[in-house]
Chains A and B, each alone.
Chain A
């Protein structure tokens, strides 16, 4: 059924928390995702015209850059965008074949590419652009939250996180259970005012974005020091003349 699993309180909701305050826009999450997944569960992630004009490919994670606000007061914000593993994902419910599904056990939204007919309705239904059409195979693909990594017992436990999280040099990506209010990620969201993208769509994305901190909250404004202007003292150097110093 591409009906959604019944919501149960306390159900596991695996997802990402992306810190826009520290993301420097290095694209590590994007390329590491690509290299993991092109040989991973939804392999391959093909590239069209890789060595000619109009090069493009399937990427599960894409990093935008925006400017918010004007001039000096504004901010440049790097903004990675991938599947948000919504609680009520229309990409699943619109799927006519059942290829799209949301897992009851952890909330991950996946596509069974053997069943997908490539009607692309899920891509239309996703407000966030998380669906990626493999035009070579004619099937839809998407972020798997590295389902073949996060449960993989052959990987050391502390590395059992999505590739994008384990590679992020700026510690801007966090993975965990957002269904558990006591998880590290939930606490981080609460502490930093993590938000949903386009809440007005009502899809209840699981992933959260942590806003860039306001510069003003950062600047511990130093006490203003009213030092003398050089012109106000005859010889400013004299202040050091009698300074007794020891080595």
Chain B
């Protein structure tokens, strides 16, 4: 009898689907271009868009599972009004009309009385240019997205130092780097470009060194894994700097041309000008010229001196930045021997890595035959690059010393001459930007029915820009931009609910959140957050009177809101990855992107952005209403095309102008979205070869960038080794100026606002006795679950249905802990139970687990016995939003400069569970009740969008 080959019908020429549409992925924050194939109205296949600049056709494990997110049974079905107590899950379905009416009346009351009493916080939404603008129009300073608990240390560290950042505003030169040092990078921004970039580096036999307490993912493929102890990266980096300085392996020419290394700093201890730059009458910083003495630091004919004490004609004593910097890092406390034990590394190894970096930077230089002209108008025939690239992320960021560590990394790059040169780290357009950019944050004078002028999340240049009252107390509910977090430029979402519940600095009326699972994995401590959300005052009213929440899914936060505005999935709406927010630009040029609706929602849900724009109109916010009071924008798509932040500048930079020919600046183009769709839902502009490097000092680039509206001025952007804004805060703490920190914070501000990077032990660890908690505990993001939003997915939950506590095999065995044992992870804040996996590739003093796998029983339409609820656990349960109690104000467990949540400062003890305690995690809060009319999840899923008939 014949075999199956004769009758097996293989469809060799069947099209994948009936139609294919492009859009932008939103399974994580990476913003890859995707092609969505549809068959019979259902999603047949999602693939990477080969033409897209971000992912060039590839798509990660999470993005490829988008179908299961689209068809998740956990999708909310209709607007909901709470009818039982918070947390009970008792809801009534209501119409959108009613929902909008409820929301409008609650918000109108706030706006008419005290707009501050609205706290509007969003998770990783990609429409922050809209949400932030809306909040400013509303008149509340209490707006932010999730950046404060994500990576603000990287953003602030970079933007205040080099005018770009590791985070989303820069990338290694994947095509040319010969040596890549990554620090604290597990799965992270920006996931697919890192993967394709690593592959490219490896193909060229470039060396990849990963500094990370855990050997997974990118560290696994690195040529060298440096298993550092969490929170000590700053010491490691400063020891590298020490070595470069000790061996005089620094690019002094780069420093004087591109950084403030030669700028003169006033030496006047105790004086009001101590530590500030010496400036001329026009405010221009001065340097010391070998022949002429003090003169304009930016002058072309300057021969600057880097070391020495100089007295100005007016008698002021000064010293160049380089001198101050070198003096600090040549100190014995930064020698490899001095830091080795604390870092858990060999001194010899630190020395070797420094030597390797210097060798690649200075002996394996890349020279491109590409002429360019600097901001002084001087033509250079070649572009000379130091092919050492760095990338650093969450492992640096999520520590209370992360800001300074990040700045130290940038100084390391500057010393090597490895900023935006061939082979090094490069800016992603629209960066670099002035250091720091723009005016300070808006929100000092919020008044009823009045928009705030300016950006809420902006950059403080000194004490005058802080959002504090006369007594130094915070204006913002999250204490961002106060003395507690003077550079809190992403807000501090992690403190909002706690502060609102405590009325610190005041009570609020409405908490309005979007896409932020604050009652579970997005909270540093979920159970405490739930307590705040359900807390009542003496009169029996909720302390936070109204909670409005928008989410597409039945997440753990849904049951704690009074009004649920159900959002769509990412395949059901318009969106823009705006040039005004965090666009998809790369080192090759600027770009932005859109999402278009691929599918019509089959539920009574609306895109949150549409809802927000309609609320803006209903509330009469000026930018959202016409003169006659009617709505200015029909919906988000209309806003994307027609909103102008400044004349000619809107959410999208591509195909502007009435005929669509303008880039960056131009009149709104009614066909703009269509042009994006025709181009695969993205726009990009490629820099010429001459614009491609040295962008901070590249005349052609800066002028073109200004013309395109990417930056306001085409002046050179001088990289800041010495940070004057920080010194200004320090001077205030030392008693100078009108605005000074309250006494309780004075010493803290003085200590941490150091104009040069410092290392200190994480605040939490210093603030309590850690002797009983010998391990550092951190989380990593699994690649297949990178970013936790919408993470209940039928396919992905098979890959990560439960998480383990990973620890060193040797340590575990010495403690009598075996593979698969159940243990308690105990911290000063409580304990959580999980199951152990022993491993080799982990720093012996560190335990870790995957982030955000554990789910609360009943949530996400999972049965309460699901693995996520039984064996999945959140480390969050043993973390705290707050530092251990001390005298003075309650302080966030955060970086003292930026307010970045210090997730990874956690110290724990591991204790084997008693017999009988195994099997189910704890804490294990009661099962949540699903909202009404949710679909019944199937017991067998046979997804088949019209392939071979089954």
Contact = CB atoms under 8 A, between A and B. Distances in A.
Contacts of A34: 64-65, 795
Residue from B5, B7, B45 with most neighbouring chain A CB atoms (10 Å): B5
Interface string A27-38: 111111011101
Contacts of B59: 28, 32, 167, 169
Given A111-B4, A228-B246, A39 B947 contact: yes
A142 B943 CA distance: 17
Interface in B305-344: 305-308, 322-323, 326-327, 330, 332, 335
Contacts of B205: 218
B945 interface: yes
A200 interface: no
Interface string A147-182: 110011111101100010011111110000000000
A39 B798 contact: no
B563 interface: no
Contact of B355 (A22, A46, A225): A225
Nearest to B949: A43
A137 B203 CA distance: 44
B304 A245 contact: yes
Given A153-B13, A239-B248, A24 B840 contact: no
A41 B798 contact: no
Residue from B198, B224, B798 with most neighbouring chain A CB atoms (10 Å): B798
Interface in A192-247: 212-213, 215, 218-225, 227-231, 236-241, 243-247
B256 A245 contact: yes
A169 B943 contact: no
Interface in B4-44: 4-5, 7-8, 10-16, 39, 44
B799 interface: yes
Nearest to B55: A169
B721 interface: no
B256 A247 contact: yes
B11 A41 contact: yes
A34 B799 CA distance: 12
B943 A245 contact: no
Interface string B194-211: 011011101101010000
A246 B376 CA distance: 13
B794 A225 contact: no
B948 A40 contact: yes
B12 A148 contact: yes
A32 B941 contact: no
B224 A170 contact: no
Contacts of A137: 950
Given A215-B224, A247-B304, A51 B44 contact: no
A172 B60 CA distance: 13
Give the interface residue-count category, chain A: 35 or more
Give the interface residue-count category, chain B: 35 or more
A145 to B, nearest CB: 11
Nearest to A23: B221
A24 B222 CA distance: 10
B217 interface: yes
B786 to A, nearest CB: 9
Contact of A167 (B47, B326, B863): B47
B308 A46 contact: no
Contact of B58 (A30, A167, A212): A167
Interface in A97-131: 97-101, 103, 110-112, 114-115
Nearest to A116: B4
A51 B794 contact: yes
Contact of A52 (B301, B326, B863, B948): B863
A71 interface: yes
Interface string A62-90: 00010101111011111000000000000
A149 B197 CA distance: 27
Given A47-B795, A101-B5, A110-B5, A22 B217 contact: no
Interface in B336-359: 352, 355-356, 358-359
Interface string B202-244: 1101010000000111111101110100000000000000010
B16 A155 contact: yes
B221 A21 contact: yes
B846 to A, nearest CB: 14
A225 B801 CA distance: 50
Interface in B255-311: 256-257, 262, 290, 299-308
B205 to A, nearest CB: 7
A51 B358 contact: no
Contact of A170 (B199, B256, B306, B939): B199
Nearest to B798: A55
A50 interface: yes
A223 B332 CA distance: 24
Contacts of B938: 50-51
Contacts of B200: 171
B1 interface: yes
A49 B939 contact: yes
A35 B220 contact: no
Nearest to A220: B207
A44 B944 contact: yes
A155 B61 CA distance: 22
A50 B68 CA distance: 10
Contact of A236 (B187, B245, B940): B245
Interface stretch (B76-84, B756-764, B865-873): B865-873
Given A47-B794, A153-B12, A169-B196, A28 B64 contact: yes
B862 interface: yes
A52 B305 contact: no
B3 interface: yes
A190 interface: no
B525 to A, nearest CB: 27
A50 B553 CA distance: 17
Contacts of B62: 31
Given A74-B841, A170-B198, A247 B784 contact: no
A31 B7 CA distance: 29
B799 A225 contact: no
Contacts of A148: 10-12, 14, 947
Interface in B643-676: none
Contacts of A72: 225, 227
A78 B223 contact: no
Contacts of B441: none
Contacts of A110: 4-5, 8
Given A76-B216, A98-B1, A43 B944 contact: yes
B796 interface: yes
A169 B290 contact: no
B256 A51 contact: no
B861 interface: yes
Contact of A22 (B221, B358, B945): B221
Contact of B8 (A27, A112, A156, A215): A112
A166 B47 contact: yes
B867 A53 contact: yes
A138 to B, nearest CB: 12
A24 B198 contact: yes
A215 B202 CA distance: 12
B710 interface: no
A245 B630 CA distance: 64
B60 to A, nearest CB: 5
Contact of A237 (B300, B307, B950): B307
A219 B224 contact: yes
A220 to B, nearest CB: 7
15 contacts: A27-B60, A28-B60, A28-B61, A39-B945, A48-B939, A53-B865, A67-B839, A75-B215, A76-B216, A171-B196, A227-B248, A236-B245, A237-B326, A243-B306, A247-B257
Given A39-B39, A243-B252, 17 more contacts: A22-B199, A24-B221, A28-B60, A31-B795, A35-B64, A41-B947, A46-B940, A51-B861, A76-B220, A159-B57, A167-B60, A218-B223, A225-B249, A237-B307, A237-B327, A241-B308, A246-B302
Closest 10 CB pairs of A and B: A112-B4, A227-B247, A27-B61, A51-B937, A222-B359, A169-B195, A98-B3, A39-B947, A76-B220, A44-B944
